[in-house]
Chains A and B, each alone.
Chain A
Amino acid sequence: MELKHLRKISDYEWEIPQNYRHDMRASVRIFATRRLLEQIADDQSLEQAVNATTLPGVISPVVVMPDMHQGYGFPIGGVAATAYPHGVISPGAIGYDINCGVRLLASGIEHEAALPYLDTLATLLNAYCPSGVGSEGVVRVQVEELNKILREGAHWALKRGYATEEDLERTEEGGKLEDADPSQVSERAKQRGREQIGSLGAGNHFIEVDVVEQIFDPGAARAMGLQEGCLAVQIHCGSRGLGHQVCTDYVQSFQHAVHKYGIHLPDRELVCAPMDSPEGKAYMAAMRAAANFAFANRQLLAHSARRAFEETFAGRFKKEWRLRQVYDIAHNMGKLETHEREGQRLRVCVHRKGATRAFGPGSPELPAEYQDIGQPVLVPGSMGTASWVLVGTETSMERSWGSTCHGAGRVLSRAKAKKQVRGERLREELEAHGVKVRAGSMSGLAEEAPQAYKDVDMVVETVTHAGIARKVARLRPVAVIKG
């Protein structure tokens, strides 16, 4: 799309008006600088955002974040709210990795003191957190137990001793989406999930040990337990094969649903069904079950990370090695939320695909300790570069459906990244910069090279200048575990 079609609202905010294309039901609001827009002008991101505005029941605006990039059907970095209950839900606008998200845990161990032990820590994390293509989880469950996970999410982990009450309080939705129905999840999806609970998988998923490099908001950092110079751990993964299968199943079955309900769309990957239809209800129940699986999955990985920390540091440090949860957030999800628009309270399904919920201070969904500061937002950068901890704001509630960015966002295709970067060389460079690397595949490492991504600092500057998030802390990686 040519940038001349965009209306500039500010240096950080743009609009594609609803009259850009005849089939649009809403406008598109883009949070980006001109430079970021120029980076994505050649791909299909903005056309895909326009396509998303054709979803029946969509409410203006469809929002796109500065880390946007071309996806399939719906752009990565996109947010679309549809009116409940007659509007639609679209599995493709949530993504195959349902409830892919990030968890951050903080320790009191100073980086300098931990330096002699980082190799051991990286090795243990790699050993206890299974990763790679087809990796199997730390526990294997029968279908009956899996159904409990699908209903209870991270609460299942609490009952089994893999979680603390505080972990659940500091997880989006308390680690459990209500109204999840395992009977709407196919046997095939369950078969895939049964062996993968507690595993990281491959692709862009990772576990990273970071040092809290700089604090911008001491009060918020204190509430989160983040201390400058100390170690923290990020876990990025989702619902593994179970979620992929749920989305695959429903994208296929919704091909019929769009005909049944007379829905016309510019891309079959956007297929959808009204939320109050049998098809829409079935998908929502299955999607929530998959989301619960992902909450439990990240909880088990957090348990494994704690084991690695304990074995590395207990006895050498007092209690500083204990990992306390900062927050766990989803960035691929469809959620029923209440938002205010022009003085009206609207019940909507907010589709976020590669976008993070970013509720402002005072939101009833937040735990008591975050009521004053807003919801923590975790923004991992590309491998070897900085990550950010932000908080949601009143402006994000007003302008972006309580959402903000989710990461750096790709600029290079995987094919180009592989041509430009050699995995072995990249690992040597990262190690030379003090980042321990444990990676299952060198070509996979090359695809995730920092050159393949936008500058995460620029993405964060954009959302903070636009007011849809506020800086709390910047993290720098010291060890990366990848599949």
Chain B
Amino acid sequence: MGYEEIEHTADWALRVWAPDLPGLLSEAARGMNALAGVKLNATKRASRQIHLTAPDAESLLVAFLSELLYLAEQENLAFDSFDLTIEAKAQEGLQLDGVLHGASIAEISKAIKAVTFHNLHIQKTPDGLEATVVFDV
């Protein structure tokens, strides 16, 4: 389970890997925080419930990270711990439910405009799943 920044001329790209899809989303969120230079307030913890549906795993990953960007901008919150469950549904595709645990942002050094679908493929590996996410900055 982990992430690493990889080269991209204009924007930011992050390679993420994890044993399963909830883990991949959680690790991508941690990587995004690291890229943006997010530091949390140590004292005041906060949590938010999350509910998302998406037609496929890549769309769910983009929707999840986009939700976190919105919460960072609008509520000044970032999250470092995640309880996520993902179920396949007949109509909606994938449904994510869970709780985000974090705190208010003490410091953030970079603005991320958006999470993109650019060349986004969640691939199976011997150890689980892997994806490269490109952010517009």
Contact = CB atoms under 8 A, between A and B. Distances in A.
B125 interface: no
A268 B12 contact: no
A49 to B, nearest CB: 14
Interface in A382-403: none
Interface of B: 5, 7-12, 36-37, 55, 58-59, 62-63, 66, 70, 72-74, 76, 108-111, 113-120, 134, 136-137
Interface in A85-122: 92, 95-97
A269 to B, nearest CB: 4
A248 interface: yes
Contact of B10 (A70, A201, A202): A70
Closest 4 CB pairs of A and B: A72-B118, A268-B117, A202-B111, A72-B116
Contacts of B62: 252
B59 A97 contact: no
A410 B10 contact: yes
Interface stretch (A220-228, A344-352, A412-420): A412-420
A19 B74 CA distance: 48
Given A192-B73, A244-B114, A443-B109, 15 more contacts: A70-B10, A71-B10, A73-B118, A97-B136, A133-B111, A192-B74, A203-B137, A252-B66, A255-B55, A268-B58, A268-B118, A410-B10, A414-B137, A416-B7, A483-B111
Interface string A292-314: 00000000000000000000000
A361 B9 CA distance: 35
- Interface class of chain B by DSSP: loop
Contact of A97 (B37, B113, B120): B113
16 contacts: A43-B9, A70-B10, A71-B10, A72-B134, A73-B117, A73-B118, A134-B111, A203-B113, A244-B113, A252-B59, A267-B118, A269-B118, A271-B117, A414-B12, A443-B37, A444-B109
Contacts of A268: 58, 117-118, 120
Interface residues of A, number: 43
Contacts of B119: 267, 269
B21 to A, nearest CB: 18
A168 interface: no
A16 interface: no
